[in-house]
Amino acid sequence: MEKKGRSMKKKWRIRNVVQLGFFLLISVIAINKYFVENGSGSSILSSASLHSVCPFGGVVSIYNLLTVGDYVQKIHSSALVLMGLVFLLSILLGPVFCGWICPLGTFQEWIGKLGKRIFKKRYNLFVPKRLDGFMRYFRILVLVWVIYITAKTGLLVFTNVDPYYALFNFWTGEVAIQALVILVLTAIGALFVERPWCKYLCPYGALLGFANSIKIFKIYRDENTCISCDLCNQSCPMNIDVANSKKISQLQCISCFECSSESTCPVPETVEIKWGEK
Amino acid sequence: MKLKNNQIGVLIVIILIGGIYIAKGFDLWVTESDKIPVKLSEGIGAGSYDPFDIRGSYSFEEISDVFEMDITLLAEAFQLGDVEEAKGIKSKDLESLYGELEDDIEIGNESVQVFVAIMKELDISGSDAMLPVSAVQVLLAENPNRSEEVLTYLESHQVEAYSNGAIPEIEAQTDSEGLKVNGNTTFSQVIDFGVSKQEIEAIIGGKMPPENQSVRSYCTENGLSFSEVKEALNTLIMP
């Protein structure tokens, strides 16, 4: 048991190290860009804009590229490269971008840790199930709206309401007030609900969620060894009913693998990430 | 086949970093617009870069590189301090550096365009941008035998204006550019600025392009002069 405890701590750290790494990377890029534009900043560090390192920019540019052969304003080929790499990762492992990389997801998780301390077991269970299920369709509507409006105008209209852009640019004066308001509401919401933006409004999460039905490596629960302790359900930030599923392919899964035997499940080889299982 | 969390972490980093590295190898990793103006297709200087395509986001170092001009001349002309300081200043920053002048006169990106055009002895007909006296002095010192047309222009378009020397704080592009057509403006924005589709069609001499296309990219595709189209559209936006 002691060995298991040590192991859990170690495995818990790897996802958080990756998350912290990407959060710091994006922070450094955003801050350096600000200083470069003001005549200082480091030439060694990337001065790319946040738009150019956001894979969702590639997604919303596809229509423009196909119809007029040009990127949407402020988007460059780097966003398209990242879009391809994230799709590749998603086909392999599901939306690991959401669970391991996205700095806005990490930001919400950090605030969520505070929420967990305050509300203990009530945390992430405030929204009634029926309402929660209904609201989860919103992000698909947001996805459709963003793609339509970007295709129509050729502009990054979503930036005006994007909390991710607001989080890494709030000091620049370039952020629309509504994006700042959404960022603050997301932060407050994360005190009660784990990853509220991801669950209800994120268009990119909605798109990557579809990869759950085709991903190569899936999460499987072994019914024969499961002791029905429900810890997997409690660990899932997206409130997926892992304890009653044999295979996790729900569109909401963010591939954080917190439910796995390596992370939370107390029984070895019961919740695992596998390829080739029927 | 099973995967462990640490393997997943390594896989994510390898795929992302490796993918970016490979993309760089194929020159696919581009994170900013190339700071290269379109080339003139006809007239005086055909084949050379069009100074009237210099965008506000170009730094004086980039302008100096592209147009093969000594940056000390640019620094002296626009009173940008020493060369090192001038390198990082953007063309659009001139508006803040010079501030508001009398009679709504503005020293800005268009002043830089005209200055470069005269330096490179290219056509300036249709231009109306003002130049600070310091820029006129540089132009005349470099070549006192300018054409009659240029001398008349310099005589009527110089203004006693002095840079305040303060490098401006970062500004949102939409704020600093105002309601003006620039290199990134799409036709949907031009319509939002109040120009009708019929007016656009009259200016470009063809059917209304897709609204999500940028004016610049349409002009490049159809062999139109972006600076002329831009000028005509801006006249309608700011009569």
CA distance linking residue B215 with residue B209, whole number of Å: 9
> B203, B232 in Cβ contact below 8 A?
yes
> A271, A220 in Cβ contact below 8 A?
yes
Give the length of chain B: 239
Of B159, B188, B220, the last residue of a domain is B159
Does residue B174 surpass a pLDDT of 70? no
Q: What is the pLDDT of residue A44?
A: 63
The whole domain housing B204 covers 179-237
| Residue A152 CB coordination number (10 Å) | 15
For residue B85, give both structure tokens: 């300081």
Q: What is the pLDDT of residue A75?
A: 85
Q: What is the pLDDT of residue A174?
A: 82
Q: What is the pLDDT of residue B199?
A: 87
Number of domains in chain B: 2
Kindly give, in sequence order, each residue whose CB lies less than 8 Å from that of residue B133, ignoring residues fewer than 6 positions away.
B158, B159, B160, B161
- Nearest CB among B5, B188, B214 relative to A257 is that of B5
Assembly ipTM: 0.89
Q: pLDDT confidence of A195, banded at 50, 70, 90?
A: very high
Residues 144-203 of A with CB under 8 A from B: 150-155, 172-174
Q: pLDDT confidence of A115, banded at 50, 70, 90?
A: very high
Angle at which helix B133-142 crosses helix B109-119, to 10 degrees, equals 10
Q: Do B212 and A81 make contact, defined as CB atoms within 8 angstroms? A: no
- Verify that B183 and B90 share a domain, yes or no: no
> A50, A169 in Cβ contact below 8 A?
yes
CA distance linking residue B173 with residue B191, whole number of Å: 18
The residues pairing with B214 across neighbouring beta strands, listed in sequence order, are B186
Across A249-262, average pLDDT: 94
Between these two residues, B45 and A186, which has the higher pLDDT value?
A186
Contacts of A34 in chain B (CB under 8 A): 170
- Verify that B60 and B150 share a domain, yes or no: yes
- Verify that B150 and B190 share a domain, yes or no: no
Does residue B20 lie in a domain region?
no
Does residue B195 lie in a domain region?
yes
Of A113-122, A144-153, A175-184, B100-109, give the lowest mean pLDDT range: B100-109
Does residue B173 lie in a domain region?
no
Kindly write down the DSSP assignment for every residue of B68-104, as one continuous string: T--HHHHHHHTT--SHHHHHH-BGGGHHHHH---GGG
Across B202-211, average pLDDT: 86
Give the length of chain A: 278
Task: Measure A276 CA to nearest chain B CA, in Å.
Answer: 7
- Verify that B189 and B122 share a domain, yes or no: no
CA B127 to chain centre: 15
Does residue B236 surpass a pLDDT of 70? yes
Does residue B201 lie in a domain region?
yes
Across B91-109, average pLDDT: 82
- Verify that B231 and B148 share a domain, yes or no: no
- Interface residue A89 vs chain B (CB under 8 A): yes
Q: What is the pLDDT of residue A83?
A: 95
Does residue A1 surpass a pLDDT of 70? no
Q: What is the pLDDT of residue A278?
A: 59
Does residue B172 lie in a domain region?
no
Q: Do A68 and B171 make contact, defined as CB atoms within 8 angstroms? A: no
Across B57-69, average pLDDT: 88
- Nearest CB among A49, A82, A154 relative to B186 is that of A154
> A28, A45 in Cβ contact below 8 A?
yes
Does residue B35 lie in a domain region?
no
Contacts of B33 in chain A (CB under 8 A): 76
Q: What is the pLDDT of residue B168?
A: 45
Does residue A106 surpass a pLDDT of 60? yes
CA distance linking residue B220 with residue B225, whole number of Å: 8
> A232, A243 in Cβ contact below 8 A?
yes
Does residue B133 lie in a domain region?
yes
Rounded (5°) CA angle A276-B4-B5:
125
- Verify that B147 and B198 share a domain, yes or no: no
| Residue A113 CB coordination number (10 Å) | 11
- Verify that B149 and B68 share a domain, yes or no: yes
- Verify that B207 and B119 share a domain, yes or no: no
Residues 91-130 of A with CB under 8 A from B: 92-93, 96, 100-101
Question: In this predicted model, what pLDDT tens digit does every residue of B81-91 receive, in sequence order?
Answer: 888 888 888 88
Nearest to A74 by CA among A160, A10, A170: A160
Does residue A143 surpass a pLDDT of 70? yes
Does residue B220 lie in a domain region?
yes
Q: What is the pLDDT of residue A147?
A: 93
In single-letter form, the type of residue at position A42 comes to S
